[in-house]
Every structure is written in C-alpha cells, then in structure tokens.
Amino acid sequence: MLKQRTIKSLTRAVGVGIHSGQKVEITLRPAAPGTGIVFRRVDLAQPVDIPVNTHSVCDTRMATTISPNGDPGQPKVQTIEHLLSACAGLGIDNLLIDINADEVPVLDGSAASYVFLLQSAGIELQNSPKQFLRVKKPVEVRKGEGKGLMWAKLTPHHGYTLSFQIEFDNPAVSATGQHYVFDMGSGQYKREIARARTFGMTKDIELMRSRGLTLGGSMDNAIVVDDYRVLNAEGLRYDDEFVKHKILDAIGDMQVVGHPLLAAYTSFKGGHALNNLLLRELLADAEAYEIVTFEDERDAPAGFAELAPAW
C-alpha cells in the first residue's frame, strides 16, 4: 500500500515574513492520517485553526493566503506556498503548524530550508492509504489577452508533471531559461526545484514598499533584478532559477487541494491567482476528478513509492 506521511518529531523555525517584515516562529508537528495540513494561529487569545484547502484561500495577490473558510474577516496566514511546496516535494500529507503571526517565515526565499527542516524531523509512514486526486478531464483557466494573456491547465496523466513558461520584459530574466518541465516522479525535487528563490524587480519593490508590502524582503531571501542584471553578489543558484521558482510556487499552490495530483499541469505566465482559480474550476466539476489510492505500490506511477527526496 502507498501510505500517507507525516513527520516523526516536532521541529521549529524562526524568521521574518517577506511581506509583513514581522518576526515569526513556527512549530511543525506530526498529525494523524486524514488530518491534511492545518495551520494554528497560536498568538491569538483563542487559537484559531486554519485547515489548508482550496476554499480556505482568501487572497492571491502577492502570495497565497488562507483563512477559515476563505473568510477575509477571519485570522489569516499568508505566504504558505513555499512550505506547502516542500511538503508536496517530500510527499507529506499530514502536518500541524503552529504559527505566532500571520505570515510564514520566508527563510532563504526558497523551499530548501523547509525541506531540510522536514527531513531533519524525519518522515513517518502512516498506516493509511495515501489519497491522490486524479484529474479525469482537462480543465483550463485564462486571463487577459494579447501580451497580457496568461493561462493554466490540468490534463489527465498517470503521474504528476509541471510545465511552466514565463515571459518577462527584462534582459536579466529573459537571458535565462524561461521554460521548464518537471516530473515529480523523478525524485529530483530537492535538487532541481527546492533551492529556487523568489524574485523581485527593483522598480516593483519600491512601489510595493510604499504600499507596506515586501517589508521583510532583502537579498538574503530573494533574487533582486534591476532593468539589466541580477544584483545579488552570489548570482543565481540555477541557470533557470526564475522559472524553477514559478514551478516551486505552482507545486505549493496545487498542494492546497489537500492531495497530491495525478495530472499534467501546464502554465503560461500564471501565478497564485490563476493556480487557485484552476483548482476551484476543477473541484466545481465532480466529473473532472476522483480520489484514488494504491493498494499495490506497483500500480502507482514510477517514482511515487520511494521515500524522500520525492514522494
């Protein structure tokens, strides 16, 4: 049987929120089979639980933000996508996350620190079948037109692949690879995707700062690009780090559905908003998906039965 996973022991991280600039501590705890991933705001007089699911997403403008039932008036946790991506990359289904502020620490701007934390805590196989969400019908969402066109789609596939295309009108970005295809069954998440950092353009950063955003952002947790070049002294971690970070984000955004996907994901210039819209569109059609388990591991797609680094 392909089993659900949690972590063996609790682990902690302290850092700043990239948008809030606030110092925050999170504690990751093991959780029972079927729990899914649940954030708990422990800084409030009454702790509030926020289960991660498609409809708990309440804001996707700068990052993926959740609140109970997606109610914007309720306590939030923002920027969940890198931690969720690390969970997906390690095949973790069940986790309780205590957090004492409203934003997940950005750490180094990638998912690598979370992969390290989760692996240090140890991965526990649970005696319950892992539930995959198998896409049965193509689902696509689009926004804009002409140069502003972006789209994302899911098509049936016995496995889980992600294909991403970016197009930035910036020489420093366009000089790098702008298209990448990643196969989750390859076992290469930790090596090929997890280390890709978030990025920002200097002119956008000034604008966002004036609106009280990216207050915690710095060259310690993001690639910063001006009109011509990468400003970080150490340069890029991958030749195509920008598009790989978009795949890292997409893996985290798709994990919000509560199950690893069996699908081919493709995106052209998409982002957090389109990713959540895609999941909502998928769930709106009961014929478009089904939940499946693998009693015999040999029936699962290649690579899915192996322990970390992937699945």
> What are the residue numbers of the active site?
272
Our separate counts of H helices and E strands in the chain read 6, 18
- Residues facing 211 on adjacent strands: none
The CA distance from 89 to 308, in Å, is 8
Considering the complex, what minimum distance in angstroms separates the CB of residue 245 from Zn ion?
A: 6
Nearer to Zn ion, 11 or 85 (CB): 85
Closest approach, Cβ 211 to Zn ion, in A, equals 19
Q: Which residues of 63-88 are buried (b: 16+ CB within 10 A; e: fewer)?
A: bbbbbbebeeeebbbbbbbbbbbbbb
Residue with smaller CB distance to Zn ion, 220 or 285: 220
For the chain, the C-alpha Rg in angstroms (whole number) is 18
Do 203 and 225 touch, CB atoms closer than 8 A?
A: no
User: Which phi and psi angles does 121 have, rounded to 5°?
Assistant: -70, -25
What is the CB neighbour count within 10 angstroms for residue 210? 8
In the bound state with Zn ion, the residue whose beta carbon lies nearer, of 241 and 249, is: 249
- Peptide bond before residue 33 is cis, with ω within 30 degrees of 0: no
In this structure, which amino acid lies at residue 233? A
In angstroms, what is the minimal distance from the CB of 110 to Zn ion? 8
Is the CB of 183 or the CB of 249 nearer to Zn ion? 249
Q: How far is the CB of 179 from Zn ion (least distance, A)?
A: 18
Query: Whose Cβ is closer to Zn ion: residue 20's or residue 198's?
Result: 198
The helix or strand, by DSSP H or E, that contains position 184, with its residue range, turns out to be: none
Tell me the closest approach of the beta carbon of residue 253 to Zn ion, in angstroms.
9
Interface residues toward Zn ion, by CB under 5 A: 198, 249
- 8 Å CB contact between 239 and 177: yes
